[in-house]
Structure 1
Amino acid sequence: MGTESISYVIDTLYAIFAMTLIIFMVPGFAMLEAGIVRTKNVTAVLTINTLIYAVASLSFLLIGYSFAFGELANDSMSKYAAFLFQMAFVGKVVNIMSGGVSERAKIIPLAFFTIIMASVLYPIVVNVTWGLNFLKDTFLELSMYDLAGSTVIHSTGGWALLAAIMIIGARKGRYSKTGGIRVIPASNIPLVTLGAFLLWIGWFGFNGGSVGSIASKENADAVALTIMNTNTAGLMGAITVAVIMYIKYKKLDLTMILNGALGGLVAVTAGPDLYDIYTPILIGAIGGAIVVFGVSFFDRLRLDDPVGALSVHLLNGIWGTIAVGLFASNGSDITLLGQLKGILVVAVFAFVSSYIVLFIINKIMPLRAENDEEMQGLDVEECGLEAYPEFKRAF
């Protein structure tokens, strides 16, 4: 077997391994969201996460991949492995959105939005950033560097979530008429913790696999550096939130600390292969601080986001993409202006297109559950199956 064939096999194996790590993020999102919501909505959350993986993956197989990348072809590894790696990403965009509208959004309309997002909207974003680039040779052509999707995936999902929240509104009782904010505590902290760490582990495949090859000494070093920097940013995000929360409230809120870690991971995702081993400490620290102040900011705007996805994914997706322009423009073609242009183009397209699609879906089949359904809990109304039937549920 020649050197080229060995590299082909190694990179194929690595892509499949990275894809498997990314799929660990499916139960990661599911467990985190199931722990955050009240017990009466747990089955509904788990059901939509399951359907997102199934529906988004199949939609991307049948339509989305060719729209984003053209034909199924790859010279450096099996074309099937290359597809599987890209397929693993697609559901994460909708996972980001589904958690933020949990406890009041219905499953079937979200499933229809998943089809459109995975078939058309997300592939368009991928096309102009990682793929065929139908904007090539126009003034909108993007030169944004985004290794694993701080903007392409995380901010895209965040903009879709913002559109959805604006359409369906907040959970009943979340905000008072006088401006008060009712805290709705997480139902299962161990599940939140498990989900966050599954996401953290999945991120090593998310970012490390995006390097594209591991079959040489230089590429192996690049993969290892990428994973190391990814982990460092997550560590610093968690530590930063812990410090801020203790200074502000003299309490260590575990859910916020875990979101701080996720915020740091999102922030470093745009360029972990470009940084030295110290820069992710700063990027993760700022990412953690963004989570803390972002949650308060969105609550003041009465944008009800149970899992903090707007702060974790939208704001830190933006920050992470800007960070590449600040810290990685070392003689390459990466510029802060190019990063900002990419953020703006994706933001306008992702928000406007998601809002239009969700608005139309909402007119055909309401996205939001009826008041009595929301009070009863979506488990009974949507699934006919309660996650904790022996528990007395608190409304």
Structure 2
Amino acid sequence: MENSIFELQYALDTFYFLVCGALVMWMAAGFAMLEAGLVRSKNTTEILLKNVALYAVACTMYMICGYAIMYGGDIFLSAITGDGVAGAEEPATYAPSADFFFQVVFVATAMSIVSGAVAERMKLWAFLVFAVVMTGFIYPMEGSWTWGGNAVFGMYTLGDLGFSDFAGSGIVHMAGAAAALAGVLLLGARKGKYSANGQINAIPGANLPLATLGTFILWLGWFGFNGGSVLATASVESANAVAVVFMNTNAAAAGGLIAALIVAR
């Protein structure tokens, strides 16, 4: 009986993990639509290609070496060939390959943050070269110090200092934001943003309905991003936790939008 219950829990949690991963993957479409709608029309083709390509690069690099750097093991996914999940404190109730899929879409999201910041500022191939470095080495190294539980340069562990990151506010978004800030500082403003006398020129987006669609896609994807970070849903406790996360995610998005309307009026 216990074995049957565990098998059911394993199947439900694995399925939930995969569905949440698919929702996060759908956020790539949201980023693409948002960026394509806000840049000038002449740059939309490159923006769309860049967003598709970065997802492919992220998946490939994380599969080759990123997951191994973050959680240990050899390259090419050897870390998920066993029964357990690398880095897990307790036996997992979901398939290790589902954990990899959920993690790889997080990596792509971190790189998508950089994509939006350097839109119309950076050449395609230069961006893809950085995507290789970011998704294959920078993000996994940072992740190994946090979710991977490894010591920072062999000196201390962040967990011992009280560090905790439920759904990647530091691991995903701070990493992406830091890389984006570095890119913006190095590349400077978009061409045409400032006149010779320093006057700021407005650069209207090419397709605001497309940007609006991207916003709603991202809003939807956040439920998978945050909800999936509960890591389970097959028990009463975890199901309640998922419901609370969904509610808080929706409230945060709505509250942020209202605050922006008030501040920007």
TM superposition score normalised by structure 2: 0.89
Q: Distance in 1 between matches of 2:149 and 2:67?
A: 11
Structure 2 equivalent of residue 81 of structure 1:
98
Q: Match of 1:3? A: 5
Give the 5 Å matches for 1:74-113: 74=85, 75-113=92-130
**2:132 matched residue in structure 1:** 115
- Superposed displacement of residue 169, structure 1: 1.6
Match of 2:173 among 154, 160, 166: 154
Question: Greater RCO between the two (CA within 8 Å, min separation 6)?
Answer: 2
2:158 partner letter: E
Unaligned runs of 5+ in 2: 73-78, 86-91
Q: Deviations over 1:276-319 (max 9, x none)?
A: xxxxxxxxxxxxxxxxxxxxxxxxxxxxxxxxxxxxxxxxxxxx
Secondary structure in structure 1 of the residue aligned to 2:200: coil
Residues 108-158 of structure 1: CA deviation (Å, up to 9, x unaligned): 111111111111100011111111423397346343221111111112111
1:217 to 217, 236, 245: 236
Match of 1:265 in 2: none
C-alpha deviation, 1:168, in angstroms:
1.7
Residue 248 (structure 2) pairs with residue 229 (structure 1) = yes
Q: Secondary structure at the match of 1:196?
A: helix
Distance 1:202 1:244, change over 3 A: same
1:242 and 2:223 correspond: no
Relative distance call for 1:140 and 1:14 in structure 2 (3 A) is closer
Q: Which amino acid aligns with 2:117?
A: G
Equivalent position of 1:166 in the other structure: 185
- 1:216-270 C-alpha deviation (Å, 9 max, x unpaired): 0000000110111011000001111112222xxxxxxxxxxxxxxxxxxxxxxxx
Aligned length: 246
Identity value in percent: 41
Residue 30 of structure 1 aligns with which residue?
A: 32
Q: The residue matched to 1:133 in structure 2 has which SS?
A: coil
Residue type of the partner of 1:99? G
The one-letter code of the counterpart of 2:105 is A
Q: 1:53 aligns to what?
A: 55
> Partner letter of residue 177 of structure 2?
G
Paired with 2:246 and 2:216, the residues of 1 have a C-alpha distance of 15
For residues 82 and 162 of structure 1, the distance between their equivalents in structure 2, rounded to whole angstroms, comes to: 29
Measured after TM superposition, the shift of residue 177 of structure 1 is 4.5
CA distance in 1: counterparts of 2:65 and 2:133, whole angstroms? 10
Q: Aligned equivalents of 1:82 and 1:232: distance in 2? A: 27
Cα separation, 2, equivalents of 1:94 and 1:154 = 9
Question: What displacement does 1:172 show?
Answer: 1.8
TM-score, length of structure 1 as denominator length: 0.60
Say if 2:70 is the partner of 1:68: yes
Paired with 1:20 and 1:139, the residues of 2 have a C-alpha distance of: 35
Taking the TM superposition and a 5 Å limit, the aligned residue runs for 1:197-346 are: 197-246=216-265
Any idea what SS the aligned residue of 1:2 has?
Answer: helix
1:51 shift after superposition: 0.4
Backbone CA RMSD of aligned residues: 1.5
User: 2:242 and 2:68 mapped to 1: Cα distance?
Assistant: 27
Alpha-carbon contact 2:150-2:157 (below 8 Å) kept: no
Q: Which of 155, 163, 173 is the equivalent residue of 1:144? A: 163
